[in-house]
A and B are shown apart, each in its own frame.
Chain A
Amino acid sequence: MADDAIPRRRFLAGAGAAGTAVATALAPTIAAQAEPAPAKAAAVETATSAEPPPEPLLTLTAAEHAFIVAAIDVLIPADELSPSASECGVATFIDRQLAGAWGNGAHLYRQGPFLKGPPELGYQLALSPREFFRAGIAAANEWSRKTYGKDFDRLPEQDRETALHALEENKATFAGFSSAMFFNALLTITMEGFFSDPIYGGNRNLAGWKMVGYPGLPATYREHIKTYFGKKYDQPPQSIADFS
């Protein structure tokens, strides 16, 4: 059902303060089952409100979360095309990805020795993605304090943008790995969150898909490929939840 994602968020929002053990223990699927069906009107109201309810964090600390929100909202700012990345749930997406199998090194060969190699040989660190983001956020904040006198999320918007350019262009010095490497990982996971199916927490209300005109599911176009030849496809997008 299309509405499933909304009651889940409402339930989690009421489950406790971000980062508490209680909230962490509540798997999203259990939460969704536990929530009684809400009134349709309430769901619509939540879906369209500008301030989405806060969601408890699975792995990010409050400080890490603040960094992520501040950074991804510079990468994907709010404008007439879409709400900002964090308003679309991308910080939640990142938290869940880092807490899950991928964040903890699934499909990553982690046997040593760990040696430095040319960039063409790809990722060579001993860190899982979760550990990499922990180290990267800490390094970015340390650099921000050295450069601007405060943590990244406390900077005015103009400075955040300048700071992210510095990371991207390797003008910031990090210990262990380059700032560009961290920036690229952050940009990649932000785009994944903005454009993936909303079941993972990002792309809330299909904002990313609406921005580009991607129709999502069911993607059975056997007839449409003829009828829409050369024409704009005008069906509203649907996601996995709409077929579940």
Chain B
Amino acid sequence: MTTTLKEIDAVVIGVGWTGSILARELTKAGLNVVGLERGPKRTSREDYTIPRIRDDLRFAWRDELFQDTQLETVSLRHSPSDTALPIRRLGSFLPGTGVGGAGTHWAGITWRLLPSDHELRSHLTQRYGKDAIPGEMTIADYPVSYAELEPFYDHFEKIAGISGKAGNLRGKSVEGGNVFEGPRENEYPNPPLAPTMAGELTERAAKTLGYHPFPGPAANASEPYTNPEGVTLGACQYCGHCERFGCEANAKGTPDVCILPVLLADNRFELRTHAYVKELVYDRAARKVTAVRYVDTRSGEEYEQPAGIIILGAYVFNNVLLMLTSGIGEPYDFRTGKGVVGKNYCYQVTGNSVTAFFADKEINPFMQAGSSGIYVDDFNGDNFDHAGLGFFGGAWIRGSGAGGRPITGRPVPPGTPRWGRQWKQATATWYNHAVSITGSCCNYAHRENFLDLDPTYKDALGRPLIRMTYNFRENDLKCAAYIGEVLARIGRAMNPTILSAPAVRRGNYNVVPYQSTHNTGGTMMGADPKSSVVNRYLQAWDADNLFVMGASVFPQNASYNPTGLVGALAYWSARAITTSYLKSPGPLVHA
């Protein structure tokens, strides 16, 4: 039995960053909006308080804030000829659940893409020739340029209270910022985070080598700050419990802190928690989604919520799952290259690092914010010449204190046993003396990396799991190896007592160790319906009242963590909906 509810102006699926942003912008435009969130509501005041939030076991290793894999997960195979098996326990990535989504437990590193990342295929073709891009590398341009998106990047940074230092103000290079970034209209809303010893050592070494170090863009407010919504963020306490945790200081830019206080106070918005969306009701002839079906997980009862506008703001995997199970858009076929839903699934190639040990330096790695440290962008994107290198793209590089919370990180020099007396000795000796330099590489789309429906395994609602066909490809492994050498160079320039050999990503994609919760693609945006799922305003080509949010719309992943772009695109899409779509509902781009 399904209970049909009264039609509402707009429904938002998932109340994380994008759901909160869209719900806020649509209610501001006068619409009545329902937010459907599969998880519970948590708040800083109630859930992220001292002492309970300072619990590495509960939050970081017993998955307190993450998607419950007892109910739903995804399966993986490394190639189309393998049998996929379910990821039974989270490891490599950690999607969130509950109000705030993964935006609650992120670390806060908030990038913009480089202008050249926005037009990747055109840029590489122009610089390296029309045959330079391998046939299996299915990269594409973003259908929105850096210049067009700049005001929206800027707005999201103001909403989330980003701390940092501009390196390019209206085309003028600013020393000490990221001189490779695209032109910014404004400085960051907050000054950079407090310096750390690890950052200082990294900065000095990078400068010696002629690189351009800068403090990272952080959604960890360096000062108390009031955002354009009138919400005040507290100042960061450098507690070392950022990623995988909620923030008791209200200093981390999260939906809960930055938007929900005003959204929840607006009676045009209704939040329904424990509302697990099962299906989009698709009218193929009318090219509309007429309603959303969801299950109340407290009672098992099923509801149908009709709505004029549907905002699909779940995590990447559920966005793709809902499109595929609802029959919207043509599923991707890797054999022919035809179809679009599930295409260009990408990730981030992390795990490239060196660790530098300093006998005479106190690092205090437990005192830092999620985005603390000093960053280097000289080897990112196309900031360096790729002629003859055999790969495209690069990595953002970061030097920060290694370890901190001791279940999670206890660096020891290479050759140390994993247990016993020598392990104790080395752990006690080096815990406070290690700096880690990491490089997070881009992940460019590959013809055989994609998402579809698993033929065997099901979720708690009886739907197929998303099946990921994914592996690191030649471009990824070559890029990682190259970046590993850069990291070693920086490490040597730090002149440490001991330097580990570079660890670089190699071999098959492994779901066990944590790598990055930056899964992207599957509902990519693009210039035409043959090669993309949504248009430049994130409107579905096949249903004009359906707007798909989040990193699932990325054609490929630049090396940068996605949230800055996710937030910017959400505001960009919201503006198109409120200024154009509401006046004249229909396709915003004509194919």
Q: Do A and B bind each other?
A: yes
Contact with A along B392-430 (1 / 0, CB 8 A): 000000000000011100100000001111001101100
Report if B73 contacts A (CB, 8 A): yes
**Are A77 and B421 CB-contacts (below 8 A) given A121-B85, A200-B57?**
yes
Asked whether A120 lies within 8 Å of B78 as measured between CB atoms, the reply is yes
Asked whether A197 lies within 8 Å of B55 as measured between CB atoms, the reply is yes
Contact with B along A55-98 (1 / 0, CB 8 A): 00000000000000000001111010110000000000000000
**Are A109 and B73 CB-contacts (below 8 A) given A75-B419, A240-B52?**
yes
Report if A133 contacts B (CB, 8 A): no
Report if B48 contacts A (CB, 8 A): no
User: Which residues in chain B, 426-484, are within 8 Å of chain A measured between CB atoms?
Assistant: 427-428, 431-432, 456-458
Select A75's contact among B366, B420, B511, B512, beta carbons within 8 Å. B420
Contact with A along B231-263 (1 / 0, CB 8 A): 000011111110000000100000000000000
Asked whether A109 lies within 8 Å of B427 as measured between CB atoms, the reply is no
Select B456's contact among A107, A113, A120, beta carbons within 8 Å. A113
Q: Is the interface of A mostly helix, strand, loop or mixed?
A: loop
**Are A211 and B85 CB-contacts (below 8 A) given A122-B91, A216-B54, A231-B362?**
no
Q: From B195, which residue of chain A is reached at the shortest CB distance?
A: A229
Asked whether A123 lies within 8 Å of B366 as measured between CB atoms, the reply is no
Q: Which residues of B contact A217 (CB under 8 A)?
A: 50-51, 54
Q: From A220, which residue of chain B is reached at the shortest CB distance?
A: B237
Select A109's contact among B86, B361, B432, beta carbons within 8 Å. B86
Total contacting residues, chain A, CB less than 8 A: 65
Report if B194 contacts A (CB, 8 A): yes
Asked whether A120 lies within 8 Å of B85 as measured between CB atoms, the reply is no
Asked whether B69 lies within 8 Å of A109 as measured between CB atoms, the reply is yes
User: Which residues in chain A, 98-113, are within 8 Å of chain B measured between CB atoms?
Assistant: 102, 105-111, 113
Asked whether B57 lies within 8 Å of A192 as measured between CB atoms, the reply is yes
24 contacts across the A-B interface (CB closer than 8 A): A74-B419, A74-B420, A76-B419, A102-B62, A107-B70, A109-B89, A110-B70, A117-B85, A120-B78, A120-B509, A121-B87, A121-B511, A195-B407, A197-B54, A197-B55, A218-B239, A219-B241, A220-B50, A221-B237, A224-B367, A225-B364, A225-B367, A225-B368, A230-B197
**Sorted from nearest, which 10 A-B pairs have the closest CB atoms?**
A212-B431, A243-B51, A219-B239, A196-B57, A120-B510, A195-B406, A240-B51, A75-B419, A221-B238, A221-B367
Known: A107-B63, A196-B56, A225-B364. 16 other contacts (CB 8 A): A77-B420, A81-B425, A108-B88, A109-B88, A121-B85, A122-B510, A122-B511, A123-B89, A197-B57, A212-B427, A221-B240, A224-B367, A229-B197, A230-B197, A232-B362, A233-B367
